[in-house]
Amino acid sequence: MSDPFRLDSKRAFVTGANTGIGQAIALGLAAAGAHVIAAGRSSCAETVTLIEQQGGSAEAFTLDLSDPAKAADSLQAVDDLDILVNNAGIIRRADSVDYVEADWDDVMDVNLKAIFMMCQAFARAAIARGKGGRIINIASLLSFQGGIRVPAYTASKHGVAGLTKLFANEWSAHNINVNAVAPGYIATNNTTALREDPQRSSEILARIPAGRWGDPSDIAGAVTFLCTPASGYVTGTVLNVDGGWLAR
């Protein structure tokens, strides 16, 4: 009997795989046996090297999600994908009364429109092949909460959660499972300033029942599980990986 937690012979496309959570996801999928296409606007050469050093298989792919239609079209250059992980995203901060339209459009294009179009392109190909597949979208705690000074990011991440459920409703009959993972406070470059601020770090840790910042590998483990046969009956869910933050 094959191991239901393995991804041998599967091909996975991971966006934003050059660093942080995206890089960890790419490494996790490769460790489970998948061939990983590590995609990003910046070079993913480091990610490919790390995967190869651990005995895995990977390749780099240049992808700019600021043009969602062009990005989705680029999937046609990648043959026979089994897994799509939409991890890439951007954030722009300002008080809502001062938020400018250009920042709103930039964030929504990358964080929501690109995800819709990437999922659509993946599903069209998967349905045509009749093989099914797995889509994992990276959501956020702000898929559930409002946040402060990040109106476009909050709106986009609420949208990611909604689209994930809609896609699951439409595509599960085609054996395409669609889920999302919502990371909590993870120790990446994006949270360096928070972690180095004693007061803010203390306030954040005080609310996390697990008592620690998350590691990118925590997200990778959840994403990898949702890509394996072991999660075959899981679809339409948004899995919080937050150390208990939302339970507090």
Catalytic residues: 153
CA dihedral (245, 39, 85, 16) in degrees, to 10, reads: 20
Contact 46, 36 (CB under 8 A): no
Looking at the DSSP assignment, which residues form a beta bridge with residue 37? 13, 59
Alpha carbons 30 and 174: distance in angstroms, whole number? 25
Looking at the DSSP assignment, which residues form a beta bridge with residue 20? none
**Six token digits for residue 48:** 């490919």
Q: Within a 13 Å sphere around the CA of 171, how many CA atoms are in the beta-carbon half?
A: 29
**Six token digits for residue 44:** 């993913």
